[in-house]
């Protein structure tokens, strides 16, 4: 070992192992403080020092950084996936990560809007109690039919309010009405005024992402008519958010179905300071990508295989 490398190794040992400050090392060795910083970098570049961080996935971090930068996200959380993971294990890991992020986001005086579905319901169930002051929780879409009411938005809103010691208001209308006139009547009614006012005050919105028309796990698509499905197919709809369909570029499908919908418009959703999308699965990658491109969501919670599929599709285009 050369004298130069011996010195680099000694400085590195004093700094990384003994925990000395750079100013202390400079005084001890009678070397300029600026030289110590440069020599520490040199020790890493020449392989004299190798830094290993345990329990940290650098590849996952790089993936998060790439997606965050590419789509100008405020926050992103990608959970690792393994080839041996079952679907239920993947869902459990996603729910846990979503629960932790949501718990951090909700603070005193937060106004939180919720959509609904399995991903949101599972995340809400895993949130640990946290007492905040004057938080309000509201639905941002109407409810599902009585057939698919397991993850009803009112249930999730109530549960969130309970876990954060907050207040809540409910929606008494299904997400799809029989006619445009009926939907407009509900949206413009005095009963709905308070809820619509809160939509304009949201600090946080929590939404799920629906997959293509062929996706079978929807909690609400039994409300669609054959005519709705045909129209959506003609408009090349590839997914939905807050029960609002869009194509692969994020263009909203504004047909008859859109006019019969009870829910917050995606254009307004995009204005919410923290709009959290929770979704996983390769089948939903195109839907998630469309939302990211239009910035309808600015925070994404997904898993590794889904994130890689999103980047693959984006690269193809």
Q: Are residues 107 and 236 in the same domain?
A: yes
Same domain for 87 and 230? yes
Question: pLDDT tens-digit profile of 109-164?
Answer: 999 999 988 899 999 999 999 999 999 999 999 988 665 566 789 999 999 999 99
Nearest to 257 by CA among 287, 233, 225, 234: 225
User: Using one digit for the tens of pLDDT, what is the confidence trace for 289-306?
Assistant: 999 999 999 999 999 999
Smallest CA-to-CA distance from 241 within 120, 149, 68 is with: 120
Is the pLDDT score of 53 beyond 80? no
Are 7 and 93 part of one and the same domain? no
pLDDT attached to residue 59: 86
What distance in Å separates the CA atoms of residue 80 and residue 69, rounded to the nearest whole number? Answer: 19
pLDDT digits (tens, 9 = 90+) for 150-203: 678 999 999 999 999 999 999 999 999 999 999 999 999 998 999 999 999 999
What integer is the mean pLDDT of 227-256? 94
Together in a domain, 36 and 76: no
Contact of 91 with 99, CB cutoff 8 Å:
no
Q: What's the gap between Cα 14 and its chain centre?
A: 42
**How many CB atoms neighbour CB 109 within 10 A?**
11
Does residue 89 form part of some domain? Answer: yes
Which helix (H) or strand (E) element contains residue 274? Answer: strand 274-278
Helix residue ranges, H only, the chain: 3-12, 22-29, 33-45, 58-70, 87-105, 118-126, 153-163, 180-187, 190-199, 226-234, 256-259, 266-269, 285-294, 304-316
Same domain, 14 and 140: no
Asked whether residue 75 falls in the same domain as residue 191, the answer is: yes
| 15 shares its domain with 137 | no
pLDDT score of 138 = 97
Total of domains in the chain: 2
Mean per-residue pLDDT for 38-59? 86
Q: Which domain holds residue 36?
A: 3-45
Q: Which of 228, 254, 238 lies closest to 291, judged by CA? A: 238
């Amino acid at each position: 070992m050369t004298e130069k490398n011996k010195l680099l190794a000694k400085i590195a040992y004093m700094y990384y192992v003994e925990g000395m400050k750079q100013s202390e090392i400079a005084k001890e060795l009678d070397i300029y403080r600026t030289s110590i910083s440069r020599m520490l970098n040199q020790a890493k570049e020449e392989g004299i020092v190798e830094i290993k961080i345990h329990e940290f996935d650098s590849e996952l971090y790089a993936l998060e950084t790439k997606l965050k930068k590419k789509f100008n996200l405020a926050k992103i959380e990608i959970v690792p996936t393994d080839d041996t993971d079952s679907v239920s294990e993947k869902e459990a890991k996603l729910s846990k990560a979503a629960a932790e992020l949501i718990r951090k986001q909700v603070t005193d005086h937060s106004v939180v809007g919720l959509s609904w579905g399995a991903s949101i319901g599972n995340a809400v169930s895993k949130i640990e109690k946290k007492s905040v002051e004057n938080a309000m929780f509201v639905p941002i879409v109407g409810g599902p039919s009585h057939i698919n009411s397991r993850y009803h938005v009112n249930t999730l809103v109530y549960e969130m309010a309970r876990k954060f010691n907050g207040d809540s208001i409910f929606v008494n209308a299904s997400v799809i009405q029989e006619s445009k006139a009926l939907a407009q009547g509900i949206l413009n009614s005095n009963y709905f005024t308070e809820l619509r006012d809160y939509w304009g005050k949201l600090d946080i919105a929590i939404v799920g992402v629906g997959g293509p028309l062929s996706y079978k796990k929807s909690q609400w698509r039994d409300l669609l008519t054959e005519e709705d499905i045909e129209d959506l197919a003609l408009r090349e709809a590839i997914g939905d958010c807050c029960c609002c369909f869009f194509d692969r570029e994020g263009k909203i499908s504004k047909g008859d179905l859109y006019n019969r919908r009870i829910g917050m418009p995606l254009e307004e959703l995009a204005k919410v300071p923290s709009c959290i999308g929770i979704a996983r699965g390769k089948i939903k990658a195109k839907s998630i990508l469309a939302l990211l491109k239009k910035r309808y969501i600015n925070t994404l919670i997904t898993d590794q295989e889904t994130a890689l599929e999103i980047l693959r599709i984006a690269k193809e285009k």
